Structure 1
Amino acid sequence: MGLKETSAVKDKKVKLVDGEFTPTQASDILIALIDQKINYHKIENLQHWEQDHNNDPKPYMMRIQELEKEKEAIDRYISEFRKAGKKLRVSGILTLKPVD
């Protein structure tokens, strides 16, 4: 498929996770996903720094901090269900779209 044909391409949906989980399982899944994203930003920051030592790390560090806060919020949220002995439904769909 050529680049000229991308406007006719439909979005691609990827079902990453979909199911009922114990609070511990849900926490493990979500924390693992966020940790992967944090590691991605750390590596991106390092790669850009290696190319240019004057590279501003602030955007990467800010995103990492946001993700760390999300981990804390997830932990607080899930702990309520853990105390109540309830399961959680976790659904995660990624959508891929061509960008012009």
Structure 2
Amino acid sequence: MSISKKVLSKVQLVDGVFIPSEASEVISRLIREKINFHKLNRLSMCEENVSSYSGYDDSRVTELIEKRKEFKAICIEAKLTGKKIKINGVLEIEVID
């Protein structure tokens, strides 16, 4: 299978300099939404088939939770040292084969 990549659209989700508490709020909310997406997706699959296997791969949720913890530590360090945090988050949308 060949994969043809062409970026069709870019969305600048976040672009700015924030005090640590603001940065923590922005990133925590983005990560929380992504975690909820995965959890709801898993729940939806289980509802469609009540006899389905419920041991789905939670590695992405686990990874996101770890990243959230790492980012909170960065925010604490920035706050303690009186620094700000720059966040640049771009979402690239592609159509693939």
- Give identity over the alignment, percent: 33
Unaligned residue ranges in structure 2 (runs of 5+): none
TM-superposed CA distance for 1:64, in Å, is: 1.2
Q: Distance in 2 between matches of 1:68 and 1:42?
A: 13
CA 1:10 to 1:80, structure 2 compared with 1: closer, same or farther past 3 Å?
A: closer
CA 1:94 to 1:82, structure 2 compared with 1: closer, same or farther past 3 Å?
A: same
Q: Contact 2:15–2:88 (CA<8 Å) still a contact in 1?
A: yes
More helix by share: 1
Question: Are residue 55 (structure 1) and residue 43 (structure 2) matched?
Answer: no
SS in 2 for 1:17: strand
TM-superposed CA distance for 1:10, in Å, is: 4.5
Partner residue in 2 for 1:24:
21
SS in 1 for 2:96: coil
TM-superposed CA distance for 1:56, in Å, is: 4.2
Unaligned residue ranges in structure 1 (runs of 5+): 1-6
TM-superposed CA distance for 1:80, in Å, is: 0.8
Q: Contact 2:7–2:92 (CA<8 Å) still a contact in 1?
A: no
Stretches of 4+ aligned residues off by more than 6 angstroms: none
* 1:2-81 map, 5 Å: 10-53=7-50, 54-59=52-57, 61-81=58-78
TM-superposed CA distance for 1:79, in Å, is: 1.0
Question: Are residue 96 (structure 1) and residue 93 (structure 2) matched?
Answer: yes
| Counterpart AA for 1:55 | Y
Q: Contact 2:17–2:87 (CA<8 Å) still a contact in 1?
A: yes
Q: Distance in 2 between matches of 1:80 and 1:10?
A: 36
Figure out how many residues of one structure are paired with residues of the other and give that number: 93
Question: Are residue 82 (structure 1) and residue 89 (structure 2) matched?
Answer: no
TM-superposed CA distance for 1:83, in Å, is: 0.3
Alpha carbon RMSD of aligned pairs, Å? 1.8
Q: Contact 1:11–1:98 (CA<8 Å) still a contact in 2?
A: yes
